[in-house]
Structure 1
Amino acid sequence: MQYQLSNDSAFQLVEITLQQNEEIKIERGSMVYHTGDVELQGKMNSNGASGLGGLIKAVGRGMASGESMFMTTAIGQRDGAKISLGPALPGKIMELTTSPANNWRLNTGSFLAADEGVNYNMKRQELGKAIFAGTGGLFIMETTGEGSLLIASYGDIVEMDVTDHLIVDNGNVLAWSSSLDYKLEIASGMFGFKSGEGIVNHFSGQGKVLVQTRNLKAMADSLIPYMPTGGSK
């Protein structure tokens, strides 16, 4: 996947150059512009299942995780076709490489684009912990295959090497190596009331964790006192 970032600010666009018949997967709704020689196709994200069973699986995951039941594929109609993508939130765009020995797990909202060699499955999390975590659902994205993957953050991206244990607020977790074990935990006390924190990801083993420096849930919570109530005019 050949691409170029617009700048190094918090409001990046990525422009991807496609060759004829080259396909990439992109986050639904992320297209900003293309040069008129890119075909966009919506395909049902059924994780390999077809027919009615695939549709039911896709709808079920969408209801549980907030994931769209459709994915968008961009296909170059000639050499040098260009498509630009913009993340939903201000932050950074970063490339990850995947292989059978080096795959990744992505938190909700991290995925931006992947080349045709990269596929993904939606991996079910523990039911109760996923609900209480406020992650947006019961699934995370787990990559398979080999190729390049673009992720987008809210804020900057900090790369951390894990050699034993690492605990990160769930809202700040962007992606992590599939070689790591992880579990969702309450930070402290009853729902984190003692520490002021909520749900954290506890990683163990050896691998990498990518942390985004801003937390969307924390930002949303900070706006609640300023939101109009039902009786406001």
Structure 2
Amino acid sequence: MPVFTVTGEIDPFLHVSLRKGERIFCESDAMVMMEAPLQVKGQMRGGLGRALLRRLSTDESFFQQEIEAVGGDGDCLLSPALPGAIELLDVTPSSAYTLSDGSFLAAEVGVELNARLNSLGGGVFGGTGGFVILEARGMGKLAVSGFGSVFTLDVSPGRDLVIDNNHVVAWSSGLHFEIGMPRSGGGFFSSLMNSVTSGEGLVIRFSGQGRVVVCSRNRSLFRPQTSQ
């Protein structure tokens, strides 16, 4: 099977080693380097309907790259669009992951990215994919990226986590989540005022059993410098 390795401490690469006949798929434009035995092509994974839904509802591309070791064994280097760390997750039939917008980098072909309906709160507030979000199911390695550093948090019964909406990268699909405003001890208007004055914005409350991958930077605040 393909071997996924994160290499480099600052803005790392995803290094993938493939044996002849093996394939992976990745986000469009993720390929930085590949050895001569490898071949890259655009693929509309999941058919026209799924690809169109994925493109219209999230930041993911209509076409994704498929890299295959055609002429023999070979290595490739992949890189996410925004500067930041990469986290490797193991997707199994009993362990699926839900991805926030733009976090997908690459996966083994045994992993399927399927669009599913989000909760009403998630659809209205956005940041986690709008009304339709991506879910990674199947079997294989999944690479996700976050803006800045990433850290994986464990959620267990009785130990709920409240995380800023813009810092969530991915989470175990079995977790229950609610999107709202930070609690301030008062009513709705008190919470609204607290959200405005604290600058915290919307948060996601996770409960149950699973994992949440978070990143240190808020990409919605990232504005490239333009020349005057």
TM range (shorter): 0.7 to 0.9
Separation (CA, whole Å) in 1 of partners of 2:139 and 2:86: 19
State the 1:177 CA deviation.
1.0
Change in 2 beyond 3 A, CA 1:61/1:94: closer
Separation (CA, whole Å) in 2 of partners of 1:38 and 1:82: 8
Q: Which runs of no fewer than 5 residues in structure 1 stay unpaired?
A: 47-53
Pick aligned residue for 1:156 from 149, 154, 173:
149
Matches within 5 A, 1:66-85: 66-85=59-78
Amino acid at match of 2:40: L
Q: Which runs of no fewer than 5 residues in structure 2 stay unpaired?
A: 183-190
Matches within 5 A, 1:20-169: 20-46=20-46, 54-127=47-120, 129-135=122-128, 137-163=130-156, 164=158, 165-169=160-164
Aligned residue in 2 for 1:6: 7
Aligned length: 217
Contact 1:124–1:139 (Cα < 8 Å) also in 2: yes
Separation (CA, whole Å) in 1 of partners of 2:226 and 2:36: 41
State the 1:36 CA deviation.
2.3
State the 1:5 CA deviation.
3.2
Separation (CA, whole Å) in 1 of partners of 2:14 and 2:127: 29
Amino acid at match of 2:13: L
Separation (CA, whole Å) in 1 of partners of 2:14 and 2:50: 31
Change in 2 beyond 3 A, CA 1:35/1:155: same
* Identity in percent: 34
State the 1:168 CA deviation.
0.6
TM (norm. structure 1) is 0.82
Separation (CA, whole Å) in 1 of partners of 2:197 and 2:76: 48
Contact 2:100–2:168 (Cα < 8 Å) also in 1: yes
State the 1:127 CA deviation.
4.9
Separation (CA, whole Å) in 2 of partners of 1:108 and 1:23: 24
Deviation per CA, 1:83-135: give whole Å up to 9, x if none.
11011122211211111111211111111111122112112223564243344
Secondary structure at the aligned position of 1:179 is classed as: coil
Amino acid at match of 1:179: G
TM (norm. structure 2) is 0.84
Separation (CA, whole Å) in 1 of partners of 2:135 and 2:111: 10
Secondary structure at the aligned position of 2:55 is classed as: helix
Amino acid at match of 2:82: L
